[in-house]
């Protein structure tokens, strides 16, 4: 999603806003590079396989390592993968019964 100059919050200086935009661009590039260089070739395991002892409602997924994994690996893979890659992934890793709806929510 592109950031527009009109998105600048009230009370934010142009310097602060420009630093934020620069930081976001750097971060987005790092994530895209992670996909291109790592995840595209070695897709991340679904969370129910990576962390089998963690229930989907566990606080683990809302902060720390679990949250990072969902956002920076699992979600990132779905963000940049083609429809064909996602379909193959879902066939290889059917949703665990405790995790039903995960694929649908991550794709939206």
Distance CA 83, CA 86 (A): 5
pLDDT tens for the 108 residues of the chain, in order: 566 667 888 899 999 999 999 999 999 999 999 999 999 999 999 999 999 999 999 999 999 899 999 999 999 999 999 999 999 999 999 999 999 999 999 887
Tokens of 39: 């995840």
32's enclosing H/E stretch is: helix 14-34
Domain map (residue ranges) of the chain: 31-107
pLDDT, residue 2, reads 62
Distance CA 78, CA 58 (A): 22
pLDDT, residue 60, reads 96
pTM, to two decimals: 0.81
């Amino acid at each position: 999603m592109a950031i527009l100059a009109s998105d600048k919050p009230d009370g934010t200086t142009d310097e602060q806003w420009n630093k934020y935009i620069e930081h976001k661009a750097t971060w987005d590039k790092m994530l895209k590079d992670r996909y291109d260089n790592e995840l595209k070739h070695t897709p991340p395991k679904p969370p129910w396989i990576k962390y089998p002892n963690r229930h989907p409602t566990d606080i683990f997924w809302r902060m720390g390592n679990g949250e990072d994994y969902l956002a920076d690996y699992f979600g990132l893979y779905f963000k940049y993968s083609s429809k064909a890659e996602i379909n193959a992934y879902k066939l290889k890793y059917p949703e665990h019964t405790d995790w039903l709806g995960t694929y649908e929510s991550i794709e939206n």
